[in-house]
A and B are shown apart, each in its own frame.
Chain A
Amino acid sequence: MPDKKFSNEEIARAATNVRKHILSLAIERGGCYLTQACSSAEIVTTLYMNILNIGPSLGNPDAQPFPGVPSAQNMDYPKGSLYNGEQTPDRDRLFVSCCHYASVIYCALAECGRISQAAIDKFNADGWNMEMIGAEHSPGFENTAGSLGQTVSIAAGTAHAYKLKGNAGKIYCMLSDGELEEGQDWECFQAAAYYHLDNFIVYADINHQQVEGWTKDVMNTEPLTDRMKAFGWEAVQINGHDIEALEQAAQTPHPGKPLMVLCDTDPAQGIPPLKSLVPKHFVRIPKDRREEFISFCEQM
């Protein structure tokens, strides 16, 4: 459990606020990764506000200037993981593979008080640490995840290290379904099962869309539950907008195996005017529909 208790009503309100915040960014800036906010708002807020056992943020609540790329001379820059609290053996960790969901992460951090609401003003602003696609200095990010397939292996390597050290904390990884077309994910899944990483839990946002369209039309990845089980994982399929189901999924027994939580989601969830635009990887609000989105945003 996180250090502060949140009710499911509070989580639901936070999820709506995340959608609202990102919709307002999309209106203000012409576009944003809005469908990902719609699909994953409950997943991310439930992770932060209920599932993850993490301590209070150690990060600066305000946006920070970009601290420079890592190098031998720059290893002590403020890490994005500071916002997930102190790393102690009994605490959990979260690795975000779908890093174009950065705005969702930032807004969720703001909802649970890990960054200020004002910090979001620096989202995607030149020279700041709140990039549109996060890297390891960005609030909430453990690593640099933009090349899909790598973060799940990095998270699994961390889970392996936790087991070797006898750490009780769990390693969570969040990804989205398009990424499951990458070969490296399946290399990782077979290795995570081989090393019996029962401290490793993946939440997959199955929003059925990717850049070129619906996932089933770009490259079918189903049946994912069967595939995961065939790879030696425990796998559950839930409604990714059902907060209670998201919480319960984390409690699924998975002795000796990693756990995959396949979260079935809708990329227009919570913003009905989006329905006619999906599938859409990056939403630009059509000029002739601006007023419609603005008035919807205001009543959210």
Chain B
Amino acid sequence: MKIEVNTHSKNMIRLAKEHPEVVVMSADLGTSCEIKEFHEVFPDRYFSMGIAEQNMCSWAAGMAREGFRPFLHTFSVFLYRRILDQLEMSVAYPNLPVVFVGFVPGITTPGGVTHQSTNDVGVLRTVPNLAIFDIGDATEIEGVLDLAYSYNGPVFIRMLRKEVPRFFPADEPIRFNHARILSEGTDITLLSSSVCTEEALRATAALREKGVSIRHLHVSTLKPFTDPQVVEACQKAKYGVVTIENGTVIGGLGSAVADVMAEHGIGKKLVKVGLQDTYAHGASKMYLLKKYQMDAMTLIGAVENLMGKSFEISEKGLEEIRFEDFSAV
């Protein structure tokens, strides 16, 4: 598995070179959000807004009204939990092309509950006009800014930073509202997003060895959520559907899938893996995934329950299929 470094930093500079109206705004976390180099390359298009996210958001709305394309950089949690009203009334209501580049989504930060955007997807899926992209690997980082730029309205990105594995071919970029099929199968349909796709890949590798046939979809567009592949995958699952996501299971990917299943009359069981209506605390990603049962072993247990079987897969066996730990602050 190849690990890519500072992919967003390079990509942000590339996008700005292609589009002169692109500007970056930062709420004092630029260096933690891979835009230090952008500041050096485009000092006149980098706007330091201080630790004042509300003003940054509405200010960006004013600039967007004048034809600029602001890309707001700070931690994901500060771009929705702290400024939801500004996001909605200054940006989403008038459908302005402001891009919220939210870093350290979900439990990918040891910064603790104040830094963990664990209910952003559920909250933001209720916001009209807004698109939500949840990044899963380096290839998606490379493509998501172009998706955001071409979207006719505001965009929220759950972005990954620093060392990020490349799971998907570099020549198969992220597509709008189009899940990536990682494996075909008919026993179980598994939908994963964000860093949980890595856990899902580990689980499916182990389960496949045990003869389980899994259709695995990696989902990166969480709003809109109208991809016909999701419907088809849920319809074809013999034993049921499992979702795994980097955040609370209320309102996020699992809930979106539940809506689709109900709307299409798909009478299958659904197991939602993720934070079970709880906040988390500050620790490494691997610790948190395990503690809050968002990991590959939990997925395997969910599949075992749905199929009424035990596959005797040990945690030790799974260790061999581990890819990368993002534990840096």
Q: Find B62's partner among A72, A75, A149, A156 (CB 8 Å cutoff).
A: A156
Say if the beta carbon of B58 comes within 8 Å of chain A.
yes
Complex contact B66–A161 (CB within 8 A): yes
Q: Which residue of B lies closest to A156 (CB)?
A: B59
Q: Which residues of A contact B54 (CB under 8 A)?
A: 149-150, 153, 183-184, 187
How many angstroms between the C-alpha atoms of A151 and B50 in the bound complex? 19
Complex contact A70–B93 (CB within 8 A): yes
The answer to whether residues A72 and B152 also contact, given A143-B94, A160-B63 and a CB cut-off of 8 A, is yes
CB distance from B300 to the nearest CB of A (A): 41
How many angstroms between the C-alpha atoms of A209 and B305 in the bound complex? 63
How many angstroms between the C-alpha atoms of A136 and B89 in the bound complex? 11
Complex contact B65–A153 (CB within 8 A): no
Complex contact A147–B68 (CB within 8 A): no
Classify chain B: how many residues form its interface, as a range.
20 to 34
How many angstroms between the C-alpha atoms of A283 and B47 in the bound complex? 44
The answer to whether residues A157 and B63 also contact, given A70-B93, A191-B55 and a CB cut-off of 8 A, is yes
How many angstroms between the C-alpha atoms of A143 and B67 in the bound complex? 15
Q: Which residues of B contact A147 (CB under 8 A)?
A: 85-86, 89
Q: Which residues of B contact A75 (CB under 8 A)?
A: 95, 152
How many angstroms between the C-alpha atoms of A154 and B90 in the bound complex? 7
CB distance from A167 to the nearest CB of B (A): 9
CB distance from B270 to the nearest CB of A (A): 30
Say if the beta carbon of A155 comes within 8 Å of chain B.
yes
Say if the beta carbon of A270 comes within 8 Å of chain B.
no
The answer to whether residues A187 and B93 also contact, given A154-B58, A156-B62, A165-B66 and a CB cut-off of 8 A, is no
Say if the beta carbon of A176 comes within 8 Å of chain B.
no
Q: Which residues of A contact B22 (CB under 8 A)?
A: none
Complex contact B129–A191 (CB within 8 A): no
Q: Which residues of B contact A136 (CB under 8 A)?
A: 94
Complex contact A190–B52 (CB within 8 A): yes
Complex contact A157–B61 (CB within 8 A): yes
Q: Which residues of B contact A194 (CB under 8 A)?
A: 50
Q: Which residues of B contact A72 (CB under 8 A)?
A: 95, 129, 152-153
Say if the beta carbon of B16 comes within 8 Å of chain A.
no
Q: Which residues of A contact B129 (CB under 8 A)?
A: 70-72
Complex contact B49–A191 (CB within 8 A): yes
How many angstroms between the C-alpha atoms of A149 and B89 in the bound complex? 11
Complex contact A188–B59 (CB within 8 A): yes
CB distance from A190 to the nearest CB of B (A): 7
Complex contact B95–A158 (CB within 8 A): no
Say if the beta carbon of A146 comes within 8 Å of chain B.
yes
How many angstroms between the C-alpha atoms of A157 and B60 in the bound complex? 6
| Complex interface residues of chain A between 54 and 77 (CB less than 8 A to chain B) | 69-72, 75
Q: Which residues of B contact A187 (CB under 8 A)?
A: 50, 52, 54-55
Return the CB mask of A163-192 against B: 1 if under 8 Å, else 0. 011000000000000000001100110110
Complex contact A150–B63 (CB within 8 A): no
CB distance from B46 to the nearest CB of A (A): 12
Classify chain A: how many residues form its interface, as a range.
35 or more
Say if the beta carbon of A103 comes within 8 Å of chain B.
no
Say if the beta carbon of A162 comes within 8 Å of chain B.
yes
Q: Which residues of B contact A69 (CB under 8 A)?
A: 93, 128
Question: Of residues B47, B59, B61, B93, which shows the largest number of chain A Cβ atoms within 10 Å of its Cβ?
Answer: B59
CB distance from A170 to the nearest CB of B (A): 14
| Complex interface residues of chain A between 123 and 147 (CB less than 8 A to chain B) | 135-136, 142-144, 146-147
Complex contact B62–A184 (CB within 8 A): no
Q: Which residues of B contact A164 (CB under 8 A)?
A: 68
Complex contact B52–A154 (CB within 8 A): no
Complex contact A70–B94 (CB within 8 A): yes
Q: Which residues of B contact A195 (CB under 8 A)?
A: 47
Q: Which residue of B lies closest to A182 (CB)?
A: B54
How many angstroms between the C-alpha atoms of A184 and B57 in the bound complex? 10
Q: Which residues of A contact B94 (CB under 8 A)?
A: 70, 136, 143-144
Q: Find B58's partner among A135, A142, A146, A157 (CB 8 Å cutoff).
A: A157
How many angstroms between the C-alpha atoms of A143 and B90 in the bound complex? 8
Complex contact A184–B66 (CB within 8 A): no
Complex contact B95–A155 (CB within 8 A): no
Q: Which residues of B contact A158 (CB under 8 A)?
A: 62-63, 65-66
Complex contact A71–B128 (CB within 8 A): yes
Complex contact B63–A161 (CB within 8 A): yes
Complex contact A184–B63 (CB within 8 A): no
How many angstroms between the C-alpha atoms of A136 and B54 in the bound complex? 20
Complex contact A191–B59 (CB within 8 A): yes
CB distance from B264 to the nearest CB of A (A): 24
Return the CB mask of B123-143 against A: 1 if under 8 Å, else 0. 000001100000000000000
Write the residues of chain B forming the contact surface with A, with a CB cutoff of 8 angstroms: 47, 49-50, 52, 54-55, 57-63, 65-68, 85-86, 89-90, 93-95, 128-129, 152-153
Could you give 23 example pairs across A and B, Cβ below 8 Å? A70-B93, A70-B129, A71-B95, A143-B94, A144-B89, A147-B86, A149-B54, A150-B58, A150-B90, A153-B90, A154-B90, A156-B55, A157-B63, A158-B65, A160-B62, A161-B62, A183-B54, A184-B54, A184-B58, A187-B50, A190-B50, A191-B49, A195-B47
Which 9 residue pairs of A and B lie closest in terms of their CB atoms, listed nearest first? A157-B62, A153-B58, A161-B66, A187-B55, A157-B59, A187-B52, A158-B62, A154-B62, A72-B152
